[in-house]
Amino acid sequence: MERLDKILVSQGVGSRREVQKLIKKKSVTVDGDLILRPEFKLDPEESEIAVNGQALSFKKHIYIMLNKPAGVVSATKDNSQKTVLDILPENLKRKGLAPVGRLDKDTEGLMILSDDGDFAHKILSPKKHIYKRYFARLDGGLNTEMIENFKNGIELSDGEICLPAKLEIADKNSAYVEICEGKFHQVKKMFLTQGLSVIYLERVKIGGLELDGNLHRGEARELTNYEKTAIFIGK
């Protein structure tokens, strides 16, 4: 059982103060009954809530796909730079929302955001071996020897050894890389050991979830139930 005002805030109806005003203005009903007390308690999964006559579709958690543009940081808050939360449409924002993993500021592509901590942990846990697929454009030529190097596990300049990765050459200067861990600047550092610098990087897939080709840079939408499952099926 939860407070009515807390439920409305969690669903993005408004701030605590805003939803309390709505309730006192006789704008909220529960199972058809007018409720005037913000502290009124109910089970949101068992009751029907309506705001201004519109039924509220309660969601315990939210799961979002964002096509991250360059120049935006993967954080919940930053005093000097725009974050992935800042660029979300208002209808997708809610308390506790955070990026699942991170992308470098200049890296674009698929990012998942959620307020479900267990869901995020399952994606990020090294034990799950969920691969992330990236498209990289390099400043020099690739060769087949690099495929074996990535497969055997790249040793970075600081001596840290990466888990085996998949390198698929697309053309002379671009490739797809799949890794199942998330070390800081990992893809860029792996290519540096091969004498190459990454000039463009985009994440295109997480597990079995591909970036929606209809989602433009900076746009976001909720994941379908199938897509949430696909993350773990195609790991």
Partners of 205 in the beta sheet?
A: 133, 210
Q: Give the CATH number for residue 195.
A: 3.30.70.1560
Q: Is 104 a catalytic residue?
A: yes
Distance CA 50, CA 34 (A): 10
* Residue-wise DSSP of 124-136: H-GGG---EEEEE
The mean predicted confidence, pLDDT, of the chain is 94
- Please answer whether residues 88 and 99 qualify as being in contact, where contact means their C-beta atoms are separated by less than 8 angstroms: no
Residue 186 CB: number of other CB atoms within 10 A? 21
Distance CA 112, CA 104 (A): 14
Catalytic residue among 5, 33, 86, 104: 104
Structure-token pair, residue 160: 């840290």
Same domain, 135 and 202: yes
Same domain, 140 and 199: yes
pTM of the complete model: 0.84
> Which range of residues forms the domain containing residue 172?
131-206
Query: Is 125 a residue whose pLDDT tops 80?
Result: yes
Query: Is 229 a residue whose pLDDT tops 60?
Result: yes
Determine the pLDDT at residue 141: 96
| Secondary structure E strands in 82-181 | 98-99, 108-114, 132-138, 166-171, 174-179
In a domain, 193, yes or no: yes
- Please answer whether residues 37 and 73 qualify as being in contact, where contact means their C-beta atoms are separated by less than 8 angstroms: no
Determine the pLDDT at residue 22: 95
Distance CA 56, CA 67 (A): 27
Determine the pLDDT at residue 197: 98
Determine the pLDDT at residue 14: 86
Q: What is the mean pLDDT of residues 10-34?
A: 93
Phi, psi of 114 (to 5 degrees): -160, 160
Determine the pLDDT at residue 10: 86
- Please answer whether residues 30 and 4 qualify as being in contact, where contact means their C-beta atoms are separated by less than 8 angstroms: yes
Q: What is the mean pLDDT of residues 60-86?
A: 96
Determine the pLDDT at residue 15: 86
Distance CA 97, CA 106 (A): 22
In a domain, 234, yes or no: no
Distance CA 213, CA 53 (A): 36
Same domain, 109 and 164: no
Determine the pLDDT at residue 127: 81
In a domain, 230, yes or no: no
Determine the pLDDT at residue 52: 95
CA atoms within 13 A on the CB side of 126: 6
Determine the pLDDT at residue 235: 57
- Please answer whether residues 107 and 203 qualify as being in contact, where contact means their C-beta atoms are separated by less than 8 angstroms: yes
Number of domains present in the structure of the chain: 3
Same domain, 40 and 79: no
Binned at pLDDT 50, 70 and 90, residue 222 comes out as: very high
Strands 49-51 and 41-42, bridge-based pairing: unpaired
Same domain, 47 and 70: no
Determine the pLDDT at residue 234: 63
Query: Is 30 a residue whose pLDDT tops 90?
Result: yes
Binned at pLDDT 50, 70 and 90, residue 233 comes out as: confident
Q: What is the mean pLDDT of residues 173-194?
A: 95
